[in-house]
Amino acid sequence: MKEMTSRERYFAFVQGKLPDRVPIDPMLESIFPMAQIGRSADTFYRDSDLCTEGLIATWKRFGFDVIQAGCNLPQYLELVGGQWTCSENGYPITVSSEPMFKSIDDIDRAQVRDVRTSPAFKVIIETISKLAEHVGKEVIICCRCPGTFNLVRYLIGTDLMFRSLVMDHAFIGRAADLACDLLIQAGKAYAEAGADVVWYPDACSSTAFISPEHYEELAMSRHARFFAEMKKAGLITIYHPDGNEYGILCQVRSIPNIDVYHMSQEVDLGIVRTIYGRKALLYGNISGHGCLLLKTPAEIEEETRLIIEKAGRHGKFAMSPAINMPGNTPPENLKAMLDAAKKYGKYPLV
């Protein structure tokens, strides 16, 4: 089969066609790409020129198919009057330990800022725009919108979130509506800037955090609204339930407007393939911390081979970590996953 470009390969995958090989998304965040250009991680979130430079330099060095960019959860607080900070080689964190909202009245009084005027979001929107301008004809650009209930936890705090699940569904439902609104606003802005794909991880609505009953009652309708709006914006949609997904596999499959299912390392993709069928598009799911960070290149090669064998034999599969790749992953370990995916993921598989 003729070698495809990254965009040709990825769109063949999304369209359910057989590409030349398995597409690869390393799911990079800030620390690793900025290290490739000798910059600290905080510049990823503060300088769109350096952020763009780091992402492109990493893509050129390693040769994967998808570049990701997006604001982290603490930065969303900027949209409702909160503050965040970032150490030189860390990730964004909140300035205050107090929740932004403690009641429905607090939420109703919130003044929501347009993402296009937010300093944090302007950096990422500008980065996506620059990526689209410089490499958008060669590589897939994926934006990150980090999940409705993940954001709820930052808006109302972990304690109130869990208490509300038991005692006050109206409050957590209102917080989830606000969180979903903020994520939709961000996703639309990223799409306008030139993103092709949106990745939506939501560990806090998985059964690692809440029951399947609460997932059905509180989460599914908000996820459905998010994905419907992202499809209207022209984005390919990836949903990452992110934790103990076995308890909600059937519910996840029933949510409309999801193009790709990205499962955590807790899930055997061979089982998901059996349940979802050959037509489902799957992402995943080599463990970031348990494998990419800690194992040898030879072990990573074998793990990559096994995952492709289970989930990608008939196409409709993209290789990626189970969640964002740890920032301190050894470069040789990332290369091992990429080389293995290119070696064992070449179609037709033998």
| DSSP, residue by residue, 155-203 | HH-HHHHHHHHHH-HHHHHHHHHHHHHHHHHHHHHHHHHT--EEEEE-G
pLDDT of residue 49: 98
E-assigned strands of the chain? Answer: 66-69, 84-85, 93-94, 140-144, 197-201, 236-240, 260-262, 281-286, 317-321
Supply the range of the domain harboring residue 197: 6-344
| Cβ proximity of 149 and 202 under 8 Å | yes
pLDDT of residue 243: 86
**Predicted confidence (pLDDT) per residue in 222-237, tens digit:** 999 999 999 999 999 9
Is position 193 within any domain?
yes
Is position 115 within any domain?
yes
pLDDT of residue 350: 75
Indicate the number of domains in the chain.
Answer: 1
Q: What is the DSSP letter of 24?
A: B
Residues near 191 by beta carbon (within 8 Å), at least 6 away in sequence: 143, 198, 230, 233, 234, 235
Query: Residue 168: left if φ>0, alpha if ψ -120 to 50, beta else—which one?
Result: beta
Edge to edge, what strands does the sheet with 260-262 contain?
A: 66-69, 140-144, 197-201, 236-240, 260-262, 281-286, 317-321
Is position 349 within any domain?
no
Mean pLDDT in consecutive groups of 10 residues from the start of the chain, 350 residues: 94 97 95 95 96 97 97 97 93 93 96 96 98 98 98 97 96 98 98 98 95 97 98 98 93 98 94 95 93 96 96 94 92 97 93
Is position 350 within any domain?
no
Cβ-in-10-Å burial (0-12, 13-18, 19+) of 40 comes to middle
Is position 77 within any domain?
yes
| Cβ proximity of 142 and 25 under 8 Å | yes
**Predicted confidence (pLDDT) per residue in 74-129, tens digit:** 999 999 999 999 999 899 999 998 999 999 999 999 999 999 999 999 999 999 99
Is position 244 within any domain?
yes
| Alpha-carbon gap, residue 190 to 197, rounded angstroms | 9
Annotate 295-308 with b (16+ C-beta within 10 A) or e (fewer): bebeebbbbbeebb
pLDDT of residue 89: 87
Is position 328 within any domain?
yes
Q: What is the DSSP letter of 218?
A: I
| Alpha-carbon gap, residue 309 to 317, rounded angstroms | 10
User: 284, 290, 324, 277: which is closest to 307 by C-alpha?
Assistant: 284
Tokens (6 digits) for 267: 């899930």
| Cβ proximity of 322 and 284 under 8 Å | yes
Query: Residue 85: left if φ>0, alpha if ψ -120 to 50, beta else—which one?
Result: beta
**Predicted confidence (pLDDT) per residue in 45-66, tens digit:** 999 999 999 999 999 999 999 9
Tokens 């965009």 correspond to what residue?
A: 7
Q: How many Å is the maximal CA-CA distance in the chain?
A: 61
pLDDT of residue 138: 97
Is position 79 within any domain?
yes
Our CA dihedral for 95, 96, 102, 107, rounded to 10 degrees, sits at -30
State the sign of the Cα–Cα–Cα–Cα dihedral 128, 131, 137, 138. negative
Domain of 188: which CATH number?
3.20.20.210
